[in-house]
Structure 1
Amino acid sequence: MNAATPGEAGPEPDLLDAIRLTADPELAAGFAAAAHRILADLVRGGAPLGWTDPPPADEVAELVDRVLRAARDGDGALRAAYAGRRLVGLGYWLRYARPTSRQHADLEKLAVASEAHGRGVGRSLTRALVEDARDAGVGVLTLDARADNTRALDLYRSLGFREYGRLPDFVAMGGRHYDKVFYMLDFRGDGPRAEEAPHLP
């Protein structure tokens, strides 16, 4: 997964799933452009979102279409965080494509607008996506992150994720190399819900 630094505290944003988002014509029409604004701004500032340069608008629009189709077909989930009518964060997970792994999913991207950092948007988005995965019958929810994204990793651990591996010096960015860290949240044992999960060291 690629994640910008999530916020840790603040008022709860309005979290829309794909159904509520697409049911609002104005928000649906502007979502791809708003998502591009957030992603391009974050990448420009060095956020670990999988791009070395800000992505073009058409690439983000294609990504949004793909995620919305997956959500409609039961193969993924999207959450969009709004402060009023302004998009301040988004995240999504998708099921694995291979038939032997389709019971599991990967939290592929989480991004919070720079102006909304520190307001709890990242935590709210992650918690909602975790519960969406649980409700959809996902067995294991995985994610990956750059090892220096410590605030994001702290958040994921606080919601019950645990590290299961890493690739040393795998991510190249700005002439430097970083470990790629892999986390998982296993729902198969009917463990605690995301808001009740113990903090893992």
Structure 2
Amino acid sequence: MKITSEAITSKKRKIRITTFYYKNKNLYYDAQIYTLILEDPDDTAKRLFYTVADIYPRDRRALEQFDLIVAKDKVSLETHYRILSSIIGRNQPNEEELDQIIKPLSSELEIFSKMIGKYVDLHQVGNHMALVGDQSIFTCIESLLSLGDCLLTTSEAIDLCPLCAQVVTCIPACVDIFTAPVCLACEATGLGGCIVCLIAAYVCYDAALAVRNNCL
């Protein structure tokens, strides 16, 4: 799947977002990979490759954890996938359980890279980062944004549940994909108490339930 859109960030910057989505299910796991290519339409030198790779094992319990991979040097999109595949697939002594769970994503990233090479220039260069694990980060962020929208439009919500004020202050970080990790770290403060309160008070109930199921 490929989707292209343009948006204005919270800092009034124009941004073009091209999203590629890939999903594979087999007997051993479900895997999905998103890559967002974020560009400044007025300055092609400004580009970020942002990949999220999730895997859900069928033969063991998911840890619901993720690793953040960030690099300061610019690379081609092709190299971005090669680096991720190498990091995930390497054999290392005393590797943690999450490393074992995500290892199949190494080959999935290679397949994904070859597939999207038909639709995008793999030699274009940009900064790059990735979230890799067995937790759906995008689903969580989508739920947080829906909850924030409900809190902002339901006047009594924050009066009834003061901890939800923290959720609202973190929303700008969730809107801008560049700061998605900041969004998740920020929302962690007071989020549990906010959700419990909202569900008990039956205010923003559906949105709160979605956050509980996707983020907590």
TM-score by length of 1: 0.27
TM-score by length of 2: 0.26
* Bigger-Rg structure (1/2): 2
Kindly indicate whether structure 1 or structure 2 has the higher relative contact order, using CA contacts under 8 Å at least 6 residues apart: 1
Higher helix share: 2
